[in-house]
Amino acid sequence: MENKGPFNAKITSVGHYVPDRIIDNKFFENFLDTNDEWIKTRTGISERRRLDKELPTSYMAVRAIQDMLSNRGIGIEEIDLIIVATVTPDMMYPSTACIIQKELGAKNAWGFDILAACSGFIFSLTTAIQFIQNGTHKKVIVVGADKMSAIANMEDRNTCILFGDAAGAVLLEPTEDRDSGILDTIMRIDGEGGKYLYQLGGGSLNPSTHETVDKRMHFVYQDGKSVFKDAVKGMADISYEIMEKNNITADQISYLVPHQANMRIITACAERMGISMDKVMVNIHKYGNTTSATIPTCISEYWKNGKVKKGDYLILSSFGAGYTWGSILLKWAY
């Protein structure tokens, strides 16, 4: 997307939060016909984190933001806008952004939620940079947070083994350097994919009733095979497209930061781009698919380990329910 504003948006801090409780693959063997070997080889997941039952998504988001603010050394009153990517809001409304704003005491901020499933963080980042690029906002938070354990059907071995709980946050600020920060974005949706990955119950189409509960309509449904096929192509193509469009070669890229849904999708995407796996950010083995949180938790962990440096080119890419998919090219600026 072309930037016609006076500034580029750059990420100036990152942070994340994962719950302490670890759920390993063996846990599922107790009540499902599955095993550690199948889960590891088919998905790349060894374990995932689970938030306490009584705690909501905002609990993790607040902690990820606090981590991010302390890494930048600024106070919450400086924040102008909070954008929350989630498919597991605390409740239908008010928005989780309002709940987070109150919890943090962000008295000078407004905010809203964005629902784009596994592409939620990428779509939210693309939305957030508009406010920075046009000069109206100086400090914008994007937080991706999901408590997937709240909507995982523990009787469905096809899906429940995939998901985990986590949150990751970034801070965006303006820069006059047009050659750094977020350089390009490509976003797509295709509602034809809606039939393969959804949560039917609780909306205006199927308001919550005893029947929607009995029919397990408040859980994730996924036709894994169809989504897998489309995700491999969709994510690989859009990641390659942003490289080509910006004349960036695989050699110049420091990191691919892919949505963490399946290790085989991640590998296929890296192969298509001609990028070796040591330049791919991965944490799926530890956290599973945390939906909106996969990309910011990856960036935060790698940054904390000193692996992300000023001037590094990163490509972020995702594919998820909707379908929604997209890629972002950025040059790390701090």
- Could you list the residues that contact ligand UT7 (CB under 6 A)? 34, 38-39, 42-43, 118, 157-158, 161, 224-225, 227-228, 231, 261-262, 265, 289, 319-320
Nearest-approach distance from CB 42 to ligand UT7, in angstroms:
5
Is the distance from CB of 118 to CB of 319 less than 8 angstroms? yes
Q: Which residues pair with 163 in a beta bridge?
A: 289
- Return the number of other C-beta atoms located less than 10 Å from residue 92's C-beta: 9
Whichever of 43 and 58 has its CB closer to ligand UT7, that residue is 43
Q: Which residues pair with 187 in a beta bridge?
A: 326
Whichever of 87 and 182 has its CB closer to ligand UT7, that residue is 87
The active-site residue, picked from 3, 262, 283, 289, is 289
Nearest-approach distance from CB 226 to ligand UT7, in angstroms:
8
Nearest-approach distance from CB 242 to ligand UT7, in angstroms:
19
Catalytic, 30? Answer no
Whichever of 17 and 196 has its CB closer to ligand UT7, that residue is 196
- Return the number of other C-beta atoms located less than 10 Å from residue 294's C-beta: 31
Catalytic, 218? Answer no
Closest of 161, 213, 180 to residue 38, by C-alpha? 161
Catalytic, 259? Answer yes
Whichever of 36 and 103 has its CB closer to ligand UT7, that residue is 36
The active-site residue, picked from 259, 262, 283, 298, is 259
> What is the C-alpha to C-alpha distance for residues 200 and 205, in angstroms, rounded to an integer?
8
Nearest-approach distance from CB 267 to ligand UT7, in angstroms:
12
The active-site residue, picked from 3, 8, 25, 118, is 118
For residue 94, whether the previous peptide bond is cis, meaning omega lies within 30 degrees of 0, is: yes
CA atoms within a 13 Å half-sphere pointing along the CA-CB vector of 149: 20
> What is the C-alpha to C-alpha distance for residues 262 and 41, in angstroms, rounded to an integer?
10
Cα end-to-end span (Å), the chain: 23
Whichever of 262 and 327 has its CB closer to ligand UT7, that residue is 262
> What is the C-alpha to C-alpha distance for residues 331 and 334, in angstroms, rounded to an integer?
9
> What is the C-alpha to C-alpha distance for residues 44 and 41, in angstroms, rounded to an integer?
6
Q: Looking at the annotation, which residues are catalytic?
A: 118, 259, 289
